[in-house]
Amino acid sequence: METLLLDSNTWLLVLTGAGVSAESGVPTFRGMNGLWEDQPVEQVASPEGFAKDPLRVWRFYSQRRAGAAGVSPNPGHDALVAWERHLGDRFLLATQNVDGLHSRAGSQRVVEMHGNLFKTRCSNDECKRAPFEDTTVYAEGTVPGCKDCGSLLRPHIVWFGEYLDPTDLERIQDFSLRAASSGGRFVFLAAGTSGAVYPAAGMVDQVRGAGGETWLVNLDPAENSRRFQHSVQGKSGEVLPKLGRLV
- Residues at the site binding ligand BV8, with contacts judged by CB under 6 A: 17-19, 22-23, 28-30, 42, 45, 96, 98, 114, 157-163, 192-194, 196-200, 218-220, 222, 235-237
67/184 with CB nearer ligand BV8: 67
CB of 208: closest distance to ligand BV8 in angstroms? Answer: 17
R_g over Cα of the chain: 18
β-pairing, 115-122 with 4-6? unpaired
CB of 170: closest distance to ligand BV8 in angstroms? Answer: 15
CB of 163: closest distance to ligand BV8 in angstroms? Answer: 5
Residue nearest to ligand BV8 (CB): 19
For 181-201, give the secondary structure using H, E and C. Answer: CCCCEEEEEEECCCCCCCCHH
Active site residue 114: yes
Paired strand residues for 91: 12
Residue length, the chain?
Answer: 247
Nearest-5° Cα angle at 164, 142 to 78? 85
CB of 213: closest distance to ligand BV8 in angstroms? Answer: 20
> What is the distance between the alpha carbons of residues 6 and 244, in angstroms, rounded to a whole number?
6
> What is the distance between the alpha carbons of residues 83 and 110, in angstroms, rounded to a whole number?
13
Is 10 in contact with 185 (CB distance < 8 Å)?
Answer: yes
84/99 with CB nearer ligand BV8: 99
169/180 with CB nearer ligand BV8: 169
H helices, E strands: number in the chain: 9, 13
- Identify residue 44 by its one-letter amino acid code: V
> What is the distance between the alpha carbons of residues 15 and 208, in angstroms, rounded to a whole number?
14
94/179 with CB nearer ligand BV8: 94
69/247 with CB nearer ligand BV8: 69
Name the burial class of residue 171, with classes exposed (0-12), middle (13-18) and buried (19+) by CB atoms within 10 angstroms of its CB: middle
CB of 199: closest distance to ligand BV8 in angstroms? Answer: 6
Annotated catalytic residue within 77, 102, 114, 156: 114
> What is the distance between the alpha carbons of residues 101 and 110, in angstroms, rounded to a whole number?
11
Active site residues: 114
